[in-house]
Structure 1
Amino acid sequence: MRTERANESGQTERRDPKVVVGAAIIADGRVLACARSAPPEVAGMWEFPGGKVEPGESETAALVRECAEELAVRVEIGDRVGRNVRMAHGRSVLKVYAARLLHGDRPKALEHSALRWLSAAELDTVTWLPADAPIVAALRPLLAAD
């Protein structure tokens, strides 16, 4: 899953794609969906909260940090949900993990325009970002089992 790119001297460099992590926060048979507020071309589309893994940071640590920054919640990270999803012309890969809220925390829309808790039957009632859409099918059995 490496990408290739020519450097200044014309030689090909191989680079691993940047990892972006998302949290499928599940509670009471529903998953948290977050509406993007920016950039304009994706504003109003829905995603799982998360973001880029920083150098030296584990994927799960990045998710814990991103959920605190974006939603003001503490989470416990569980198993992967779905497959890796290539993004940004192959320069990034999205990995989504199941998560649960800790200590009765309630998400706040600090960086999103809206938050919604969706049941399995409601997953198709929002327009998901293209990278998040493939994860939705993998979520259905998890929501039914919760």
Structure 2
Amino acid sequence: MRTERANDGGQVERREPKVIVGAAIIRDGRVLACARSAPPEVAGMWEFPGGKVEPGETETAALVRECAEELAVRVEIGARVGRNVRMAHGRSVLKVYAARLLHGDQPQPLEHSALRWLSATELDTVTWLPADAPIVAALRPLLGPAS
């Protein structure tokens, strides 16, 4: 989806939406959920770690960088999970990928107020950010049998 906006000369500019990537880090049939610490309107809501894809960066490279910055972990990125989720009135799109931890790394909450490993039956025990919520249903089959 492209967004259009008139510039100072009245000509329409077409812009591709900004891409935001998220990592559904899966370990032992559970996915890592991260509680936002800011801004205040979403503090305490849960999300998949990730962030903006920078110019010249691939989506997977952005996820590797974001996981290192937010959680101090190294990850291997796998297949997409779910569909694209429009955000910010169509100005951004969220794309979530499955991921796995490398080298026995343990996530640290460097930018989040809390971390939780959730099984398929526990996914609904937290309040997901609106953009992350549509991914949850697509994630369930990847977590294996209910525990």
The CA RMSD over aligned residues, in Å, is 1.3
For 1:73, the equivalent position in structure 2 comes to 73
The list of structure 1 runs, each at least 4 consecutive aligned residues, that deviate by more than 3 angstroms after superposition, is none
- Find the aligned partners of 1:5 and 1:86 in 2 and give their Cα distance: 18
TM-score, structure 2 normalization: 0.98
- 1:1-146 paired onto structure 2 within 5 Å: 1-144=1-144
Identity of aligned residues (%): 90
TM-score, structure 1 normalization: 0.98
Alpha-carbon shift at residue 142 of structure 1 (Å): 0.3
Give, in angstroms, the shift of residue 116 of structure 1: 0.2
Q: Distance in 2 between matches of 1:10 and 1:41?
A: 35
Q: Give 1:19 deviation, angstroms.
A: 0.2
| Separation in structure 2 between the aligned mates of residue 15 and residue 116 of structure 1, nearest angstrom | 36
For the residue of structure 2 that corresponds to 1:65, the secondary structure is: helix
Deviation of the 1:4 alpha carbon: 0.6
Q: Distance in 2 between matches of 1:49 and 1:19?
A: 14
Provide the rounded CA distance (Å) in 2 between the counterparts of 1:138 and 1:6. Answer: 37
Cα offset, 1:37, TM superposition = 0.3
Which deviates more, 136-145 or 49-58?
A: 136-145
Q: After superposition, give the CA deviation of every residue in 1:73-113 in whole Å (9 maximum; x if it has no partner).
A: 00000000000000001000000000000000000000000
- 5+ unaligned residues in a row in structure 1: which ranges? none
1:31-78 Cα shifts (integer Å, max 9, x gaps): 000000000000000000000000000000000000000000000000
Mapped to 1, the partners of 2:129 and 2:11 lie a distance apart of 35
- Structure 2 runs not aligned, ≥5 long: none
Alignment partners' CA distance in 1, 2:8 and 2:52: 26
State how far apart, in whole Å, the 1-side matches of 2:100 and 2:3 are: 33
- How far has the Cα of 1:11 moved from its partner? 1.3
Residues of 2 paired with 1:71 and 1:134: CA distance?
A: 23
Size of the aligned set, in residue pairs, is 146
